[in-house]
């Protein structure tokens, strides 16, 4: 469930690369048919930078119903032969990806993949900026970011793509598995480019209980012990881009995630869905 602001370390890293290098920018997201995560001959790279204004609601109890603000939209794709690194912050479903292409033939691809699936949080909520302890979360243990590796099978069509991923946590956060199925479509219309996608994710019981379970050390009068089974979520994304001029592109996006009852029933969850929308611009060469 990678639907939260990315870690600022990776934002800074992407900005550093952007300042050092310059080059032509294109879309780069593993979920979409025009992604650049393909084998190259030697070294290749691609970047873009911009800024946007976002609004999102939180699923954690005690947090503000809506969070608004400005954020950087930085994207970087670096590849060397079959290895690649991709940091995508243009699409709301984007994130950090490390990979190695095993097979790329006849519109099929098979990759070794490493990526983050779930943001960490603690009794101060999500992210690194906060206003202190959130009372309904007081006393919960820290949940760490995970880092998952596994296989990704992809089938590309002219303007569409379907992918299947099976990933396992190697960070020691939850030691569980995540499986993702995602179908996306890109539709050009005049000077616009519209992107839409729908995905289904499944999370092991270890994953679900690590992030959303409550053990005896965390339980209190209003927060009972909670242990559950494997869980799922459904994600829908819509993204639009329009070239303002040769160097600047307008972008807008919407992302909605619905969680299954195993997550929704957790004492630290306030609602079974999350929305995020943003508008912004990005600079390309």
pLDDT digits (tens, 9 = 90+) for 147-166: 999 999 999 998 999 999 99
Mean pLDDT over the full length of the chain? 86
**What's the confidence (pLDDT) of residue 272?**
94
* pTM of this structure: 0.85
Q: Could you tell me if 163 and 152 are in contact, meaning their C-beta atoms sit under 8 angstroms apart? A: yes
By C-alpha distance, which of 100, 125, 122 is closest to 112?
100
148 close to 170: Cβ distance less than 8 angstroms: yes
Strand 108-115 to strand 121-122: parallel, antiparallel, or no bridges (unpaired)? unpaired
Share of the chain above pLDDT 90, in %: 62
- Residue 194's region, left for phi above 0, alpha for psi from -120 to 50, else beta, is beta
User: Which CATH number fits the domain 8-283, given the four candidates 2.40.230, 1.20.120, 3.30.70, 2.60.120?
Assistant: 2.40.230
Average pLDDT over residues 71-96: 85
Evaluate whether 126 touches 58 at the Cβ level (below 8 Å): yes
Q: Which of 65, 84, 197 shows the shortest CA–CA distance to 125? A: 65
From the DSSP assignment, how many helices (H) and strands (E) are in the chain?
3, 14
Continuous H helices in the chain: 8-20, 205-212, 261-264
| Of residues 26 and 98, more confidently modeled | 98
């Amino acid at each position: 469930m990678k639907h939260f602001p990315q870690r600022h370390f990776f934002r800074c890293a992407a900005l550093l690369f952007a300042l050092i290098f310059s080059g032509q920018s294109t879309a780069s997201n593993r979920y979409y048919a025009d992604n650049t995560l393909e084998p190259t001959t030697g070294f290749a790279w691609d970047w873009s930078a911009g800024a946007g204004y976002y609004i999102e609601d939180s699923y954690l109890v005690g947090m503000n119903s809506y969070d608004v603000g400005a954020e950087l939209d930085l994207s970087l794709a670096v590849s060397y032969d079959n290895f690649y690194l991709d940091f995508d912050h243009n699409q709301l479903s984007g994130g950090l990806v490390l990979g190695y292409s095993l097979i790329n033939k006849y519109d099929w691809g098979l990759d070794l993949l490493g990526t983050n699936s779930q943001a960490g949080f603690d009794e101060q909520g999500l992210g690194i900026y906060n206003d202190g302890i959130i009372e309904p979360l007081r006393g919960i243990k820290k949940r760490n970011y995970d880092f998952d590796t596994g296989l990704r099978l992809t089938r590309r069509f002219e303007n569409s793509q379907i992918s299947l991923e099976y990933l396992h946590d190697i960070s020691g956060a939850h030691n569980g598995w995540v499986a993702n199925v995602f179908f996306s479509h890109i539709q050009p219309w005049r000077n616009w480019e519209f992107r839409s996608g729908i995905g289904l994710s499944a999370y092991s019981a270890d994953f679900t209980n690590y992030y959303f379970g409550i053990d005896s050390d965390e339980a209190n009068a209003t927060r009972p012990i909670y242990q559950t089974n494997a869980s799922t979520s459904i994600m829908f994304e819509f993204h639009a881009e329009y070239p303002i001029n040769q160097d600047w592109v307008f972008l807008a996006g919407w992302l909605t995630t619905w969680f299954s009852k195993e997550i929704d029933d957790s004492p630290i969850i306030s609602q079974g869905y999350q929305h995020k929308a943003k508008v912004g611009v990005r600079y390309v060469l």
